[in-house]
Structures are given as C-alpha cells and as structure tokens.
C-alpha cells in the first residue's frame, strides 16, 4: 500500500477526520478511497471487546473472553518467556476477533501502594517493568496485532488523574518514570503509544512536544502512532503539533473542524496533519494486510494457560515450619468467600467478561477439604455465626487455609485507595482462625500491598495477587506442591503505609502532585534508609533451597565504553525441582549525587533439579552504572568502584564483587571566586593548579596568637586544617593568604581553568 499516494488524494476534511475515532473503539474510514475502519480493544490481560453500549470504565458488558493474570501477578514471575506466551495467546484472540490493537501493556511505576490502578502496573522498578513489558509486546505483535503501551507518562495516581500535574525533576523522570517506556520502545517497538490524562510539569501529556516528539521519537526512535487516553485531549491542534496523532474516542466532529480551521488559517502546517495520518494508516494497514480472522481461539486451552501462568506468578511470602505444601492425606479447611468466589481481576477498563472461572474450592474437589464462608466479600462484614462456623472448621482440620484480600470496591481505575488495610472483617476472621488452629495459612487475592497485623500468628502466606480466571486451579496446585512456587515480589510490602517514601505528598495539593521523594521510590528508599519492611522487593520463597556462589567478573577494571560480564553459579540444594529468580544489582558506594544502595540491572529465572548447578551470566553496559546528569542532560558514569551484587531479593544478597570504572566523559565545570576548595580539589585537572594555593592557606593557619607552645601548635593536625578550609571559597585565600597572594594571579588561574 502506497500510503503517501493515498493521502495525496484525500481532502483536508478527510485527513482531519482520520485523526479522531469513529466511535469509542473504531478509527474512521474513507469510503470514497476504500480506506477501511479498524477496531481497538481494552485488555492488558485479556480482551474487553465491546460493540454496543461502549464505555471505557468496564461498566458495560463485553464479549466473553479469557482473563489472564493481571500485571501485578505476571511481573512477579520475572519470566520474560512466560509473559511472551501470554502475549501470543492474546494476539491470537485479537486476530480471531478482528482487533487491530490491544490497549496495553500498562507500565506506570508503582509510586505508592494507594494507586487504584496498581494491579494493572508491573513494578516499582523501571528495569523490571520495561523488560516484562517488552516481552509482552513482542508476544502480542508476533501475531501481527498491535499494542498500545500506556500511560505515557508519569500517570501514578487516579486521584484527579485528568487534571493533576505530575511535577518531577529531570533526573527522577529519566531514571524512574521513563525507562520502562524507553526499554519497550527500543526492544519491541510497540505499534502505538497511549498518552496519559495528567499534565507533566504543567503541560498536558496530550500536547507535550518534548515528551511525544523529542523524547519518544527523536531519542528513542518510536515509529508508530500516538493515541490519546479516552478523553485526554485538551487542545487538539496543540496536541497534533506536539505529536498526538489519534484522538480517542470520537469528538463528534468538533476537533476535526478545529484541525481544518487551523490548517486553513496557517496556524497548523498541513504537513503535520499529513504525517499523523500517515502514521495512523501505516499501522492500520500493517494489521489489515496480515489480518487472519480465521485464527482459532481455543478459550479452554487459554483457560489452562492462564492457570499455568498464575502458578508461576504466585509468591510464597512466609512458610514457617515448612507447613506448605499440604498433604493430600490431611483434612484441610478452606475458609473465606474468596475460596468459592475468588477475586481475580481489577475494576475499570481492564475488566474482562470471563467465559468461565475456576475457584480453589472447585479445583480441590476430590481432596479432603471442607469449606466455611467466614465473611461477605461484597461488604466489610461478618457475623458471629460466620466466625463460629469458620472456627469450628479450623479446629477440625489439620491445616486451615484462609482466602482473603481486597474486595472489588477497594481497587479500581478511577480512584485511589484511602489506606493500605484489608477489610476489618477479614482481619478479624484470620485472627480467630489462627487462634483456633496454629497451622493457619493465608492466601491473598489483591492487586497491591496490604498491611498484615496477623502475620506473626499464621504459619504461611501465599500471595496470589489477581491471578486471572483460573486462579483457583493454580492456587491448589501450589498449596499441594504440584507447582513449586517461584514468584518474587515486583514491589516492596512496607510494614505500614506511612513508611512509603511518597506518603507525605502522594495525591498532591489540588492539581499539583510533587514527586518530592525523587529517585528514592520503593526499595531504592527502603534499602537506602535501612528500614524494616514486611517483605522486600524481589522476595519469594520456594519448597526447595538455592545457593549462589563463585561470582566471576570478566574484568576488574573497565571504562564506561566497555561491557562487563558477571557470571554466578546457582545450585539447587534442596530435594525438589524448582525455579529461582537470579537478581543482579549494581551500586555506587561513593558518588557525588544521592544514589540508591543498589538498583536492579539484571534478572534471569532458572529451573534446577535437586543438586543441579547452572552458570548464569549477565552483560552490563554503561547504563547499568550511570545516573542522569542534569548538567549534561545525558547519562553519566562517575569514575570509581562499583558493587556487583547477586542474590534472591534486594535484602538477600548472596555474592558480591567490585569493579573499577573509569569515565571517558567529564562534567562541565565553571569556577569563580565563590567556588569552594572541596569542589575544586574533586576535579583532578583543577586540583593540580589550585593545590599550591591550598598549601599556602594551610601554612598561614595559626591555631593561636603566637603565645602557645610549639607542642600545642603541632597538635593541630594537617587533616584538621584541611577540614577547616574545605568549605572555604577561593576568595578566602585573600583573607587567609597573609597578604602575599595576588588577586590578579587567582583570576588568571580561574580564567585558565575555565577555558
């Protein structure tokens, strides 16, 4: 298809019309020229295809589909191939349903546990979020169906989401909130990008030229089209000029007319409009020319795939006395309504009309399991009778398993959580069951962290997250040991909400949300502060054990232009086959800027038989060691020693080594009479020139009025003298130089250094 030739035949009105939707889910057609309409659909973890009574909040019913585990769960798998297979399955379903683009994945950073949409997002860590996103995108698009990575950018709260400004400094934006998008674009090139509702540093994302054009296209090389989140457009003409190609949903012709008027008045160059239309049609025809509506959609097979994925994602948080796995010979009580009616997805635009679902109670048929409801899931409510029934069931069982978590109303698109607590009725139930039976296990169904006041009184906790429609099958498989749990937390569970670094500022004041915690998000904050957490980032237990040893680096000294390979030996030291997530962290112990203790820069999931060992290697380039320099407006590596740490969580480091890096770049420096001695000495080039002046100042320092003894004067050490003058500006040389230093000579020295 010659897209440019096609566009040349279009009227101005036809071109403007193509830049907004036909309705909620379709792009416009140009019947005169045979340009067809295509359909897009919600669904980061399944299809929410709607034809009638369309909405974007999940309130109206959509076609029956398969609900896969949500991103809160899949990120915990740390398994690129697994999420790629999920993407391929969703891509096949899109082909069957004649959908050109699936609206996902969502990669916004989990800044606070309160964000109502956290269940759709992968992680508090940008590297993990980017890698999982890129794998999902590659999976979907392998089926010749597009993805729309969202929400670009800095959409980290639902509160005032359509008006709030995310105010973020340059370094924090580059290190935390943009990399997941960057990794996805560079590795997997999503067909589309969806801009967010919010403003970024005062400018709406939908009309932000730096974001949509300079960064996304010029820096990262994005090739597809940018669409708006539904209703995110403020000024359509400004948005088009900034790089927003497609407005969704339909504007009723209002914004189309504004585009036409802007072109005719000379406000908007028609070439900008042509470029947007070309981007949209290029993506549409990429799908149309590869459409395969005959693609079979085996929902039953995908249901079982969903169960397999969910089992790989579950995180065993605690397993005291190895109470898990359960024995099929023992009497077990399943307690809590979620055992019968599991919460397996979140609310809003990602809500899937599942063609079936399997609860843990159904999956446990044939096992020695009894059931007690315990609480009412649709309200924070229980009764004495429900508690008594649960306690009685717990007393009669060898092990009591309480299914708990967050009800639908607690987590949804459109609003944030007011607290981090579970319903009081569930906490009360867990306490009562644990008192009745010391062998109590808790299974959690939730999309983000919860406080656990009952944790010391239960033997085990299995985090199932929102595990999709087959979560019951996966849960029983893990509880009974058919699947060895291998999930690891993609987010930190703090002890309480007030421990979170954004606690004082989250939500913002009015329409201003200041990200004052900077780069210290999630484990970057907790680890730097050495703060107790409930469960650390990367944590996950197994029914076997693993040992990490023999860390080898390919070099002990490199420059920032080199790559470094780190290899570690991993051994299954237990009696069961299992999988472990090998996590590599990099740290810069001595830095001129505030940096985290460690940052995730590599991970691999490895399966090992009992006694088996494997070598796992990681290759690190400049970005693994760099921070974003606001002086260079680029990535920068400081010379010095860096730590390479490998372990099983950010708090469980098994082996470590050091590598010396030499920077090939230098930061721009400008010295004046107000520059202090410490900063000058930190620059080797300047230090060599200024050191004689420093020596002169030190020699002139006299600890007294000349009447003390020689011994007393010698007691003032050279180190103490240097400590006294390190904060002294150069102009202090004139005061402490004994009048023998020529001001003109100092100025000449500065001029030489600065040129």
What residues are labeled active site? Answer: 229
Token couple for 352? 């899937």
Nearest one of 699, 104, 14, 15 to 413, comparing CA atoms: 104
- DSSP letters along 347-391, please? BSTT--EES----HHHHTTTSSEEEE--SBTTTTB--HHHHHHHH
CA distance 287 to 296: 17
According to DSSP, residue 68 is labeled P
- DSSP letters along 118-154, please? GGGS--S-HHHHHHHHHHHHHHHHTTT-EEEEEEETT
Residue 663 — φ and ψ, nearest 5°? -80, 140
The β-bridge partners of 106 are 150
339-343: long-range contacts at Cβ-Cβ below 8 A with a sequence spacing of 24 or more? 339/371, 339/401, 339/403, 339/443, 340/371, 340/373, 341/377, 342/403, 342/445, 342/467, 342/471, 342/472, 342/475, 343/377, 343/405, 343/406, 343/407, 343/408, 343/445, 343/446, 343/466
Nearest one of 350, 56, 70, 353 to 228, comparing CA atoms: 56
Residue 647 — φ and ψ, nearest 5°? -170, -165
Which whole-number Å values give the CA distances from 286 to 3, 26, 89, 628, 657, in the listed order? 11, 16, 19, 36, 48
Categorise residue 322: left if φ over 0, alpha if ψ from -120 to 50, beta otherwise.
Answer: left
Token couple for 41? 């659909």
Nearest one of 58, 73, 59, 61 to 103, comparing CA atoms: 58
300 upstream amide cis, omega within 30 of 0: no
Angle 493-442-427 from CA coordinates, rounded to 5°: 80
259's enclosing H/E stretch is helix 254-265
**SS3 state of residue 176:** helix
**SS3 state of residue 205:** helix
Token couple for 430? 């867990």
Rounded CA Rg of the chain: 30
Nearest one of 479, 166, 493, 174 to 330, comparing CA atoms: 479
């Amino acid at each position: 298809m010659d897209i440019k030739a096609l566009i040349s035949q279009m009227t101005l009105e036809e071109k403007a019309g193509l830049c907004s939707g036909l309705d909620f889910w379709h792009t416009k057609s140009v019947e005169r020229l045979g340009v067809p309409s295509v359909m897009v659909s919600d669904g980061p973890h399944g299809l929410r295809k709607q034809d009638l009574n369309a909405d974007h909040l999940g309130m109206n019913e959509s076609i029956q589909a398969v609900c896969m585990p949500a991103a809160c769960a899949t990120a915990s798998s740390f398994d690129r191939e697994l999420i790629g297979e999920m993407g391929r399955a969703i891509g096949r379903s899109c082909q069957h349903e004649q959908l050109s683009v699936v609206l996902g994945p969502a990669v916004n950073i989990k800044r606070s546990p309160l964000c109502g949409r956290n269940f759709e997002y992968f992680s508090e860590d940008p590297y993990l979020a980017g890698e999982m996103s890129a794998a999902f995108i590659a999976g979907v698009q392998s089926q010749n169906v597009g993805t729309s990575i969202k929400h670009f950018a800095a959409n980290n709260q639902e509160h005032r989401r359509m008006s709030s400004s995310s105010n973020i400094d340059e370094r924090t934006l580059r290190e935390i909130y943009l990399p997941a998008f960057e990794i996805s674009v560079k590795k997997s090139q999503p067909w589309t990008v969806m801009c967010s509702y919010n403003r970024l540093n005062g400018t709406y994302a939908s009309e932000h030229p730096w974001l949509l054009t300079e960064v996304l296209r010029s820096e990262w090389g994005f090739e597809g089209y940018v669409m708006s989140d539904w209703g995110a457009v403020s000024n359509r003409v400004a948005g088009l000029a900034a790089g927003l190609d497609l407005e969704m949903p339909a504007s009723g012709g209002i914004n189309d007319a504004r585009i036409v008027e802007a072109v005719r008045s000379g406000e908007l160059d028609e070439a900008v409009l042509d470029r947007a239309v070309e981007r949209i049609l290029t993506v549409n025809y990429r799908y149309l020319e590869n459409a395969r509506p005959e693609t079979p959609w085996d929902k039953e097979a995908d249901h079982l795939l969903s169960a397999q994925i969910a089992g790989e994602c579950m995180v065993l948080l605690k397993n005291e006395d190895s109470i898990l796995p359960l024995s099929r010979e023992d009497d077990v009580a399943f307690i809590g309504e979620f055992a019968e009616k599991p919460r397996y997805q979140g609310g809003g635009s990602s809500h899937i009309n599942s063609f079936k679902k399997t609860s843990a109670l159904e999956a446990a048929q044939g096992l020695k399991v009894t059931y007690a409801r315990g609480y009412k899931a649709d309200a924070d409510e229980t009764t004495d009778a429900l508690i008594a029934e649960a306690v009685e069931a717990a007393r009669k069982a060898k092990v009591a398993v309480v299914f708990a978590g967050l009800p639908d109303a607690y987590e949804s698109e459109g609003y944030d959580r007011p607290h981090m607590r579970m319903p009081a009725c569930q906490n009360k139930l867990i306490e009562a069951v644990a008192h009745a039976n010391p062998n109590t296990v808790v299974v959690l169904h939730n999309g983000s962290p919860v406080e656990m006041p009952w944790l010391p009184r239960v033997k085990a906790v299995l985090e199932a997250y929102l595990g999709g429609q087959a979560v019951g099958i996966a849960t029983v498989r893990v509880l009974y040991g058919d699947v060895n749990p291998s999930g690891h937390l993609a987010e930190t569970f703090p002890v309480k909400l007030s421990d979170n670094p954004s606690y004082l500022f989250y939500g913002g004041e009015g329409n201003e949300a200041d990200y004052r915690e900077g780069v210290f998000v999630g484990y970057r904050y907790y680890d730097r502060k050495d703060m107790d957490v409930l469960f650390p980032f990367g944590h996950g237990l197994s029914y076997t054990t693993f040992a990490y040893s023999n860390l080898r680096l390919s070099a002990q000294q490199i420059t920032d232009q080199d790559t470094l390979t780190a290899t570690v030996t991993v051994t299954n030291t237990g009696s069961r086959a299992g999988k472990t997530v090998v996590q590599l962290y990099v740290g810069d112990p001595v830095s001129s800027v505030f940096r985290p203790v460690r940052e995730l820069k590599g991970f691999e999931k490895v399966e090992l038989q009992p006694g088996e060992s494997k070598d796992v290697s990681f290759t690190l380039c400049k970005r693994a060691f760099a921070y974003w320099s606001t002086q260079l407006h680029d990535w920068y590596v400081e010379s010095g020693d860096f730590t390479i740490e490998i372990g099983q969580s950010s708090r469980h480091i098994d082996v470590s080594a050091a590598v010396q890096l030499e920077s090939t770049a230098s930061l721009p420096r400008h010295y004046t009479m107000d520059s202090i001695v410490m900063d000058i000495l930190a620059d080797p080039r300047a230090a060599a020139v200024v050191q004689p002046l420093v020596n002169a100042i030190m020699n002139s320092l006299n600890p007294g009025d000349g009447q003390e003894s020689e011994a007393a004067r010698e007691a003032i050490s050279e180190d103490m003298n240097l400590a006294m003058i390190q904060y002294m500006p150069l102009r202090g040389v004139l005061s402490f130089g004994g009048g023998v230093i020529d001001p003109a000579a100092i100025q000449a020295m500065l001029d030489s250094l600065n040129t």
